[in-house]
A and B are shown apart, each in its own frame.
Chain A
Amino acid sequence: MLEVIDGGLRTTVQDMGRRGGQALGIPPSGAQDGFALRIANVLVGNPPGGPLVVRDDPGAAGLEMTLGRLKLRALEDHVLALTGADTGATVDGEAVPCWSSFVLREGQTLACGLAQSGARAYLAVHGGIDVPLYRGSRATHVSGGFGGLEGRPLAKDDRLPVGAPTASVADLAGRRLRPDLVPAYAPPMRVRTVAGPEEHHFTADSVEAFYATAWKLNPKADRTGMRFIGPELSFKPGRPHYLIEDAGADPSNIVIDPGAPVGTVQVPSGVEPIVLCVDSPSIGGYARIAIVITTDMARVGQVRPFEETRFVRISHEDAVVALTAQEALIADPDIII
C-alpha cells in the first residue's frame, strides 16, 4: 500500500489502456508514453503489456505524472522504478536515479520534483497498482469518470493498493535500463507519421510545410489532444459543394469519420494541427493530414509546452517495422543490467 501525500500537478493510474471501446466512444486511455511505463514495469518485474490498443494484455498499472511533484509514503516495503521525465526524485531526501529500480521501505517518503526535460514521469511498483479492472484495463479516463482510482486524478490521503509480490525485494532492486536506451527528450522531437486519409485535401505546399515546420506545442495540451503552433495550412480548391450542408462550410470539415485510436493529426480550419492522444474522441469531423505511428506516441507524450516537434513521413510498412523492433526490444532480457 502506498499513501499519497501530494498528488502533484496531475497524477493518474495508467496501464496500456482499453481495447474494444472505439464503437462506444470509449478511448484507449493508458500511458501517453507507453515505452516509459512499460520499461518501468520491466524494471520492477511486472508484466509490461503490449502496445496501446492492439495489446492482448494491458500490463501492470503504474502512475503517470504530468511534470511531477508527486509525493508518496510507503506503508510497507516496495520496489519502485521511475522512468520518463526526470523529476529529480528523492527518498527521504536522498536522490534516486531514473530508469532504475529501488526500494522504498515502510515509512519512507518518495518526493518527485518538477521535470526539467520531458513532460511526463512514470512510477511502477512491483505487484502493480491494484485498482479494479474496468472493461479490461486499470487506466483512468477522467472526463468519463472511470478506471484508475475512482476515475479521477490522485489527491492527498489517497491509498493505493499494490498487488501481491511475486519476487523478493533483493532480487528486484538496483536493476537499470541499459544507458544507451534511455531516451533523450531533447527538442526538436522527431515524430514519425504515415500520410493521413485526407492528405490529398491539402495543397501540395501545405503538405510540404507540415513536414518542413518545427511546430511549437500549444500549452493547452492534454491527454485528449496536443495542438501545435505553426503556419496556417490550406486546402485545395474543388471541394464538393454538397459538403457545405453535409459536413460544414469550412474546407477542413469532413462528414464524421472514425479516426485511428491514437495519433490522428487533424487540422481544423487549417490552423494548429492537433495530435489526438490516448483520451481522444473515437470519431472526428476534420481533415487528417497525417497519423502518428504507434511507437512515436511515446515521444509526443514527452513534448513540453512551446518545445518544437518535427513530423517525418514514413510508409505504413516502415511504421510496422518500427513497432516490431520496439516490441522485440521490450521483450529482450538483456536491456536490463
Chain B
Amino acid sequence: MVYDEPVFKTLGDTAINVEFGDESSIPINFRILALDFALREEPPKGLVETNPQVRTLGLVFNPLATTRARIVDHVKALIAAQGTVETLPSRRVTIPALYDDPWSRECAEAFGVRNNIEYIAEFNDMTVAQVIETHTGCDYWVTGVGFVPGAFMSYAMDPTKRFGAPLYRTPRTWTHARLLNFGGLTSTIYPIRIPGGGQLFGRTPIEIFDLREISPAFADGPVLARAGDRHRYESISREEYDAIRAEVEAGTYAYRVEEDTFDCAGYEAWLVGTGEPAEKHDPDSTWGPF
C-alpha cells in the first residue's frame, strides 16, 4: 500500500526513515527521488546524508547539531510543497551481458543447485530464450543504490515484462563479481565477489564498481549506477563479452551512458493504461503502516 502521508520512522539516535509505502513501486520512487533532490537543494542543518530507496528515503542526521523534530519538520514542509512529479533527471545506461554464462553455472554447481536460469525459466513458465528476451525487452528503473559498494536495485518499467525468482533459501558463501541476478522482482548485479542469495542468470563484462575510476563513467566516484537511471540490458555473445572485457581491463571501454530527462507523469499515465493498479491492497491485512 501507499500511505496517505509518509511515515517517519526512528532508527536509533542518528537515522530517520521517511517511508512512503510498504510495496515496491516505481511511482513511489519518483516521489522519493524528487524529495531527495529537494533536500539536496535545501538541506536542513545537521543533515549528514540521504539514502533514497524504492519506498523509503533514509536520512542520517547529527543529533549533536540538530534534533529529530527539526529534521522531520523540514522534510514535512518539503513534502507539503511537493506537487506531482513531472520529470526527473534520468540517465540511459546500456549494460551488455552474456546470458546463461559459465560463471553463473559454476556458482550453481559449487552450491549444489541447478543452473539458476533454468529455474528462473521454470518458475515463470518460460523458456531460457524467453527469459533473455524478456529481460532485454524493457528498461529497468534504478530505485536506489546500495547494499554493498556499487550494488543497486532495479525494477522492470513495463509491468507486463516484470518477472523474477525468489532468493536462495540458504545464501551462497561467494558469488563471482558482475553476475546478473534476481532477488524476487528486483534485478541487480553483484559488483564485487560477495556472498548472496540472488538467482544468477548472466554476467556483464563492464564494471559497476571500479576503484580505478579511470573511465568518465566513474568521474564522480567508483560507483556506476545512480538512483533514477534507466538500465537497458543487451544480450552479447562470448566473443563480444571477451572483447569488451579486454577493453574494460585496459581502461579503454567507452561506457554507454546518456544524460536524459524522464517524463514521470507520462509514464504514470501510460502505466494506468496497462491495467497496473496504482497500489496494492490487502483488505485482510492488519499490519498497517505503524
Q: Which residues of A contact B (CB under 8 A)?
A: 19-27, 50-51, 53-54, 135, 141, 143-146, 193-197, 200-201, 236-243, 245-249, 254-261, 263-264, 281-283, 285, 288, 291-295, 316, 319-320, 322-324, 327
Contact = CB atoms under 8 A, between A and B. Distances in A.
Interface string B10-40: 1111110101001110000000000000000
Contact of B13 (A21, A146, A200, A320): A320
Given A24-B223, A25-B147, A25-B148, A293 B48 contact: no
A131 B181 CA distance: 36
B23 A246 contact: yes
Given A242-B23, A261-B14, A316 B68 contact: yes
A259 B147 CA distance: 10
16 contacts: A23-B49, A23-B145, A25-B147, A25-B148, A53-B14, A54-B65, A145-B211, A196-B11, A238-B284, A240-B1, A242-B281, A256-B53, A257-B55, A259-B58, A261-B15, A283-B53
A255 B184 CA distance: 10
Contact of A255 (B22, B65, B192, B211): B22
Nearest to B59: A258
B30 to A, nearest CB: 16
A282 B147 contact: yes
A22 B50 contact: yes
A54 B11 CA distance: 14
Contact of B23 (A255, A260, A293): A255
B147 A146 contact: no
A243 B11 CA distance: 22
Given A194-B12, A260-B15, 13 more contacts: A23-B52, A24-B223, A27-B149, A53-B48, A53-B60, A54-B60, A236-B286, A246-B184, A258-B146, A259-B11, A264-B11, A316-B10, A322-B13
B159 interface: no
B11 A260 contact: yes
A241 B19 CA distance: 19
B13 A293 contact: yes
B282 interface: yes
B167 interface: yes
B280 A294 contact: no
A290 B12 CA distance: 8
Nearest to A195: B10
Interface string B201-213: 0000000010100
B148 A243 contact: no
B102 interface: no
A201 B63 CA distance: 27
A152 B63 CA distance: 32
Nearest to B52: A23
Given A144-B192, A246-B280, A237 B24 contact: no
B62 interface: yes
B150 interface: yes
Nearest to B50: A23
A237 B195 CA distance: 31
Interface in B50-85: 50-58, 60-65, 67-68
Nearest to B56: A257
Nearest to A265: B12
B85 to A, nearest CB: 19
Given A22-B49, A23-B50, A256-B144, A242 B11 contact: no
Contact of B211 (A146, A259, A316): A146
B185 A246 contact: yes
B14 A260 contact: yes
Contacts of B24: 246-247, 255-256
The list of the 6 closest CB pairs from A to B, nearest first, reads A258-B58, A238-B286, A291-B12, A319-B13, A282-B146, A54-B62
Nearest to A54: B62
A25 B145 contact: yes
A324 B66 CA distance: 12
A263 B12 contact: yes
